[in-house]
Amino acid sequence: MLSLVDVDLGYNQQIILPKVNLSFKANEHVAILGPSGVGKTTLLHHLYQQLAEQTCLCSQAQGLVDNLSMYHNVFIGGLARYSRWYNLANLLLPFNKPQQQIAAICQQLELTVPLQQKVSELSGGQRQRVALARALFQQQSVFMGDEPFSALDPLMGLRLLNLIKQTHQSVICVLHDAELALANFDRIIVISDGKVVLDDKAGQLSLAHLSQHYALADSPKHAVA
């Protein structure tokens, strides 16, 4: 699907990850792990730009528009499918069809608040699910997420991850929960010290392997978030 060969990654002419070599196949579920500030997001954004035609991105910044309703925020995922006039008219008076589709998505994501609620009035976990809903509404084959479940409780996070896996061919996620990654992804990439230090099948790895490459929190599940 995509191969990076000796690519220098960074922003503002500052290279964070020099000479990256990675390739991604379709139908793969990849988790990217590593300590904070090491360039995981930079890598993900680069991948997104390469595959933007077929990818939805659920970034950490979420990109929610606070002044719009939950419905409109999710609808943004579908902007490219409709004409500009349809989009504008929908801003003034929502159409029925997308409303039903979006209501269904929100139900799957366990978002029980009314669609017309402004997102500025939602909690952190609800906002994260609105961002996920927008990604789902894009109806793409590749899902890329930057810690897309970080504000959710672990069980709900797992349910939504499975939903994402069902609805997308390929999934590439930056995560901080190493256990979630080991148990639910095919492949683990660890980035540390400005390079890819580990890239292997998840089935062959354990927490002990990962902790050789970067300091894992002792018990991430019980740590106070």
Footprint on this chain of other proteins (rule: CB under 8 A): 45, 48, 52-53, 55-59, 61-68, 72, 76-84, 87-88, 91, 138, 140
Taking the complex as a whole, how short is the minimal distance between the CB of residue 141 and other proteins, in angstroms? 13
Strand, helix or coil for residue 216: coil
Distance in Å, CB of 148 to other proteins, minimum = 12
Q: Residue 82's Cα: distance from chain center in Å? A: 24
Neighbours of 200 (CB within 10 A): 12
Least distance to other proteins, CB of residue 56, Å: 7
* Minimum distance from residue 62 beta carbon to other proteins (Å): 7
Nearer to other proteins by Cβ, of 17 and 64: the residue is 64
Query: Amino acid letter at 130?
Result: V
Nearer to other proteins, 87 or 117 (CB): 87
Q: Mention every residue, 6+ apart, whose C-beta is less than 8 A from residue 178.
A: 33, 207, 210, 216, 220
Q: How many whole angstroms separate alpha carbon 211 and alpha carbon 138?
A: 36
CB of 63 to other proteins, least distance (A): 4
Residue pair 180/157 in contact by the 8 Å Cβ criterion: yes
Cα angle, residue 192 at apex, residues 188 and 197 outer, rounded to 5°:
55
In terms of CB distance, is 57 or 189 closer to other proteins?
Answer: 57
Between CA 17 and CA 38 the distance in angstroms is: 8
Cβ closest to other proteins, residue 41 vs residue 184 = 41
Nearer to other proteins, 55 or 184 (CB): 55
